[in-house]
Structure 1
Amino acid sequence: MISTSLSHIASVLGGRLVLRGDDTPETTVSGLIDTDSRLIEPGGIFVAKPGETTDGHLFVPAAIERGAVLALVERELDQPVSQVVVPDVVEALGELARDVVARVRATGNLRIVGITGSNGKTTTKNLLARILEDEGSTVAPRASFNNEVGAPLTMLRVTDDTRFLVSEFGASAPGAIARLAGLVTPDIGVVLMVGMAHAGGFGGIESTFHAKSELVRATREGGLAVLNADDPRVAAMEPLARERGQEVRWFGRGERAQVRALDVEVSASGTRAQLVVDGEEHTLELRVLGEHHVMNALAAIAAATALGVTAEEAIARLSTVELAERWRMQPLGSERVRIINDAYNASPDSMSAALRTLAQITGPDERTVAVLGAMSELGEYADEEHDRVGLLAVRLRIQRIVVIGQDARRMYLEAIAQGSWDGEAVFFPDADSAYDYLRNELRDGDRVLVKSSNSAGLRFLGDRLGESFA
């Protein structure tokens, strides 16, 4: 964080400043901010966030031991560290981020890109950050820091030297993206897709559309909207962008897109695509597995070239990316038994894309094995969408379908109902029993996809299988 006095922090947050030791109102702090006491470094600021199972205020002593010089709290503590007492530390975290980014932006050097979409946010964020980091100091979220805590923590990492801030915005509820993006008013807003992820919480796909369009509304007037020309709901955001005087830059597979992919070839080693960027042809060699990641690359290229990076430079930098993120189409195991661990998140769209990738990268003498868990946050659509996945796995002729957990059982039942040969699908109540089965079942030449939502915990099963067959 940029150097800031204690009195300024208290004033911005409307909080009460409690001084300890030799601190005065004009004492400045500039360390990193975190809600996890284990990650605090000397000079850092600890945010004592109340949680569902514990209370961050209990960890203030641990943060002090690690070198915290300021605590953001909701009640004054008898601890030897200066404190700013506020009614709500999460809300205060956002307001501090707003202030810090505004002050850095006032120097005229900072450009801000916001990214949202039902799928692909984290991959696109990482691809864009990889392109921009060679242009200048770039701040981007760790992992999927895209909520009311993670997004501000990322924003607070900017300094006077930062040239690019790439923010990822998730939507836990209607209005969430508007609040988060409103903290920084991006220069460029990237909308990837509107799908069924979180549809249960939003009340349907149209509500999801309105939630994702909040980013276009929050992008600054006269800025740039980077939109998916292939997604009708995203394309329908164009009038919103025009109302705000924003230029629209399209990406996709159709001729409308200024940044588009033509021929796409998928293999076990990555994806190759012929691109047209503003009328000029290029070849993209992407090591990240999956045809669906080509669209994420197109979005990153569209944003980067709008920021002055040449298409040649952007594409060359993308070729160096070996992994989008841990637990996202992550290759594990060995050439003998290849494990693809994609179990950090799952929606009907990403589940379909992952299964299609498995089918595409498996050779005629190899066997496809899909290890599947539940997709969360689908609400009333859960049964129907899990049925669809089971049906798709059969239609793609996945040779072994291993379904884990009661919430995913309908995938198994649909696969059994639609399958045409015995033993194609099996069901296990938990990951441990599935591991025991897979440890004995998998054989040379198997290509194994592990896919589920984060809450199902199958990412750890993927890791175990990767170690077993390394």
Structure 2
Amino acid sequence: MPERYILMIRLTLSEIAERLSGTLYSAGTDATADTVVDGPVETDSREIVPGGIFVAKRGDDTDGHLFVGAALERGATLAIVEHTVENAVAQIVVDNAVAALGELARYVVERVRSTGNLTVIGITGSNGKTTTKNMLERILSAEGETVAPIRSFNNAVGAPTTMLRATESTRYLIVEMGASGIGDIARLVAMAKPDIGVVLKVGLAHAGGFGGIEATLRAKTEMVTDLAADAVAVLNADDSRVASMAQRTNARVVRFGEDPAADIRATGISGSRTGTSFTAHVPGEGAVAIRLRVLGEHHVSNALAAIAVAHTLGVPLARAAAALETLSRAERWRMEVLGGRDDVTIINDAYNASPDSMSAAIKTLAQISEPGKRTIAVLGAMSELGEYSGEEHDRIGLQLVRLNISRLVVVGPEARRMHISAINEGSWDGESVYFGDMDAAFDYLAAEITPGDTVLVKSSNSAQLRFLGDRLGELFSW
């Protein structure tokens, strides 16, 4: 069985049905109320493995109930459905499949926590959740069995799916908690009841859905408002909005950042095309120099958050630092370094893009370029910004000019405003070009990129420039 399929704890069908207030139907199968299931829980029938549990959720474009048969063919032993489906598999009928998934996750975490061995860490923030999760997983997996999200599983489906992978032997459960509106994080916190809640940043990511930065702040604050008095809130001291959350929690507060008042602090930050260096300071342990192989000074904040959690859990700074230095990339398509031939560096950072992360990536591009070498920014749209979209794309266009990025390549009509803003800044003459699609941009870049160039590819996931980044990386690979 592939490594990602960590089994759920053993539960009987009757236990599951009772907890979900559902009705068990097992006619035509060998299953009974006492049948035990412990397979991985999936909402995608293509991911089902023998013994798996399929949750037939309804989506915008399709209905999971249409795929119960496919799940059965792949070996599912239970389907959680909103109405019975004529397939020879045990089914538990519930009112809402997504809500049932969350309730099952809550039950599993409760059961595992009752063993006294489990620590739950929740992570939220407008940027950096996945990178911080990966850093913390790298540290904690050397200390004990650790369950963490696959990719960016952080919503009402992905977060509970992660929680359901916890078993009696799990020592640390890391849960990313994303949100598209007020109340989303509160629901995930209620499911997982974190012992440690981490807030990284409050920015404009998804601001269009939230309705503005202040609404985003309220949503992210949900991470700490319901923490227990014996829990710990790990807060970014360099973000004033996050720092203000210390007044909204009953938990003990640990602050991280470059701020001299931070508990977990970084000094001496510097970056290059091969990584990022800094010195971490931890109370009672002194200072340790760390060299991340992950590009971008903005990732130092994520590393400090991971160190703060590790310190809270009693992991020595030296061990945490050594673990961080083994991490070769933040995540697939996140500041991922490709290429290498002809001294060409391709930085593929096109899985997500908010104004903050776009700005940080561009600053990194400017900082790591060697004297006399060119920098090229290949940018697509930042999505889900609502009324802020125009002005934020304008701001990025101006920043590119002011940081003296050698060449701007804008891809896709939703991002064209960056191109226009860069031209209107008046500093450039032909250094900004626009293409309506990725193929045209690739053809241009394949001819334009010269030895020694450093190329950043950055966009929101919906713009799909990550695939353009992969093509450029392959073109300039050894």
* Alignment TM class, shorter chain as reference: over 0.9
Task: String of CA shifts for 1:69-90, please: whole Å, max 9, x gaps.
Answer: 0011111011010001111100
Matched, 1:259 2:238: no
- Structure 1's 142 and 419: CA in aligned 2 closer, same or farther, altered over 3 A? farther
Does residue 275 in structure 1 map to residue 280 in structure 2? Answer: yes
Amino acid at match of 1:239: Q
Structure 2 counterpart of 1:273, one-letter code: F
Q: Where do residues 11-410 of structure 1 align in structure 2 (5 Å cutoff)?
A: 11-19=18-26, 20-241=28-249, 244=250, 246-278=251-283, 280-336=286-342, 337-410=344-417
> Amino acid of the residue matched to residue 284 of structure 1?
I
User: Where does 1:390-469 land on structure 2 (aligned, <5 Å)?
Assistant: 390-469=397-476
4+ long deviations beyond 4 Å: none
Structure 2 unmatched ranges of 5 or more: 1-7
Mapped to 1, the partners of 2:224 and 2:468 lie a distance apart of 38
- Secondary structure, aligned partner of 1:237: helix
Q: SS in structure 2 opposite 1:135?
A: coil
Say which SS state the counterpart of residue 102 (structure 1) adopts. helix
Native 8 Å contact 1:33 1:156 kept in 2: yes
1:453, distance to aligned residue in structure 2 (A): 0.5
Alignment partners' CA distance in 1, 2:341 and 2:315:
37
Cα distance between partner residues in 2 of 1:335 and 1:238: 49
The C-alpha deviation readout for 1:283-326, integer Å capped at 9, x for no partner, is 11100000000000000000011011111110110000001110
Q: Distance in 1 between matches of 2:279 and 2:13?
A: 53
Write the deviation string for residues 141-192 of structure 1: whole angstroms up to 9, x where unpaired.
0010000000000000000000000000001111100011110110000000
> Are the equivalent residues in 1 in contact too, given 2:401–2:428 (CA < 8 A)?
no
Deviations 1:241-295 (A, max 9, x none): 2xx2x11101000111111111111011101101211151111110000000000
| Conserved 8 A contact 2:102-2:191 | yes
Query: In the alignment, is the contact (CA less than 8 A) between 1:186 and 1:218 conserved in 2?
Result: no
**Does the CA-based 8 Å contact 1:72-1:85 persist in structure 2?**
yes
Structure 1 Cα separation of the partners of residues 239 and 125 of structure 2: 11
Residues of 1 paired with 2:430 and 2:235: CA distance? 44
SS of equivalent residue, structure 2 residue 307: helix
SS of aligned partner of 2:279: strand
Deviations 1:90-118 (A, max 9, x none): 01000000001000000100000000001
In the aligned structure 1, how far is the partner of 2:227 from the partner of 2:366?
Answer: 39
Following the alignment from structure 2 to structure 1, what is the Cα–Cα distance between the partners of residues 226 and 173? 16
The range that moved more, 63-72 or 151-160, is 63-72
Number of equivalent positions: 467
Deviation by residue 1:168-222 (Cα, 9 ceiling, x = unmatched): 0001111100011110110000000111111111111111111000000132232
Q: CA deviation at 1:392?
A: 0.3
Q: Distance in 1 between matches of 2:214 and 2:224?
A: 16
Give the aligned residue type for 2:476.
Answer: F
Q: Give the match's secondary structure for 2:192.
A: coil
Contact 2:108 2:164 in 1 (8 A): yes
Give 1:365 deviation, angstroms. Answer: 2.6
Post-superposition shift, 1:335?
4.6
In 2: Cα distance, 1:111 partner to 1:85 partner: 32
Distance 2:274 2:366 in 1: 14
Q: Read off the aligned partner of 2:229 and give its amino acid letter.
A: E
Equivalent AA in structure 2 for residue 268 of structure 1: R
> SS where residue 23 of structure 1 aligns?
coil
Identity within the alignment, %: 61
Q: Could you report, residue by residue, the CA deviation over 1:396-424 in whole angstroms, capped at 9, with x for unpaired residues?
A: 10111001111111100010011423211
How much does 1:228 deviate?
Answer: 0.5
Q: C-alpha distance in 2, partners of 1:62/1:90? A: 19
| Cα RMSD after superposing both structures | 0.9
Stretch deviating more after TM superposition (17-26 or 297-306): 17-26
Any unmatched runs of 5+ in structure 1?
Answer: none
Per-residue CA deviations over 1:348-370 (Å, capped at 9, x if unaligned) read 10001000101111111311000
SS in 1 for 2:215: helix
Distance in structure 1 (CA, Å) of the matches to 2:253 and 2:85: 50
Distance 1:313 1:220 in 2: 28
Per-residue deviation, 1:31: 0.6
Scaled by the length of structure 1, the TM-score of the pair is 0.98
